[in-house]
Amino acid sequence: MTFETPSTAWKDYELIDCGDFCKLERFGKYVTIRPEPKALWKKSLPDAEWRRMAHTEFIPGGGFSTAGQQDSGSWKTLRKMDQQWPIVYQPLHLTLRMGMTSFKHVGVFPEQAPNWEFIYSNTSRIVNNAGGAPVKVLNLFAYTGAASLAARKAGADVTHLDSVRQVVTWARQNMELSRLDGIRWIVEDALKFVRREARRGNVYQGIMLDPPAYGHGPDGEKWKLDDCLYEMLCLVGQILAPKDSFLILNLYANGYSSLLADTALRSALNLKKDADIECGELVLRDSFGKALPLSVFARLKR
């Protein structure tokens, strides 16, 4: 099992401090305060210093999800700032639009940067081996699309799927800001789409999955991770190319471990013991050295 953090070459993001169930982050020129349930230790800086540095703070209090967790609220402006602004992921020269949502998100999950690097390097490898043949990559539960951009940057034909039209529009803006084009955009329920692709016999050289614990498709379809994940992985196994391919499974849900992700992937795809799978956690480290683990992953390469 490995622990991975974003490259130090990424100058537009910094976890300044974390603790007392919050995190102090810099995205480009603006600093935010957001809730973080996993930061259960004490802050390194005093509260007054957090508020001196921050431009905005997310205040929970708008409602509860089906998991019983508070998932919406509002932003309190502490210093003058733009409502939307760009940041650059320097290692891949990707430009991402930032913005404040009612669900505390700002348009990027910075801990995912190691996955973007994996996508770019493996897509490049497969493109180089393809001899000019199309290389197809599918991004499921794709959000604002940094993973899609990484695959497109490496030369793949990318299908980007999310059930929320607004975030697909946001992802398209990120593509344009990054001076890329040609991504296929789909607003649909992920499980329904993958079932159809399996029936049609369509095959992809790369597949990324970042499923939520709970969710809904555009037509009210229900997604519950515990009930749906294994079926999804079995279907994904049917549409993943048997060689010169890769797959990433990323999980944020509490109670899920990287070992669980590894075992589920091996079982669903009926992989041999010597399959090239790595699993671990995606971690952010603040400027005081504290490690904040945020998601688990399993990655297959073949």
Task: Report the CATH fold assignment for 2-99.
Answer: Immunoglobulin-like (2.60.40)
Domain residue ranges of the chain, discontinuous segments joined by +: 2-99, 110-301
Q: Is 190 helix (H, G, I), strand (E, B) or coil?
A: helix
Nearest 10 degrees: Cα torsion 53, 112, 189, 298: -150
Residue whose C-alpha is closest to residue 158's, from 142, 179, 176, 177:
142
| Calpha distance 291→27 (Å, rounded) | 19
pTM of this prediction? 0.94
Structural contact between residues 116 and 201, judged by C-beta atoms closer than 8 angstroms:
no
Q: Residue 135, CB half-sphere, CA atoms under 13 Å: how many?
A: 26
Residues 6 or more apart from 220 whose CB is under 8 A from it? none
pLDDT digits (tens, 9 = 90+) for 196-232: 999 999 999 999 999 999 998 998 999 999 999 999 9
Which regions in the chain score pLDDT beneath 70?
A: 62-71
Identity of the amino acid at 240:
L
| Calpha distance 244→234 (Å, rounded) | 19
Note the pLDDT of residue 231: 97
Q: What is the CATH number of domain 110-301?
A: 3.40.50.150
CB atoms within 10 A of CB 219: 9
Note the pLDDT of residue 71: 64
CA distances from 14 to 17, 18, 31, 87 (A): 9, 11, 9, 12
Structural contact between residues 135 and 155, judged by C-beta atoms closer than 8 angstroms:
yes
| Calpha distance 53→93 (Å, rounded) | 27
The residues with which 26 forms a beta bridge, in sequence order, are: 14, 31
Residue whose C-alpha is closest to residue 153's, from 84, 89, 242:
89
Note the pLDDT of residue 1: 83
Structural contact between residues 60 and 49, judged by C-beta atoms closer than 8 angstroms:
no
Which alpha helices (DSSP H) does 106-213 contain, by range?
113-129, 146-153, 165-177, 190-200
Write phi, then psi, for 194 (nearest 5 degrees).
-70, -40
| Calpha distance 165→207 (Å, rounded) | 21
| Calpha distance 298→151 (Å, rounded) | 18
* DSSP secondary structure, 71-106, as one string: EEEEEEESS---SEEEEEETTTTEEEEEE--TTS--
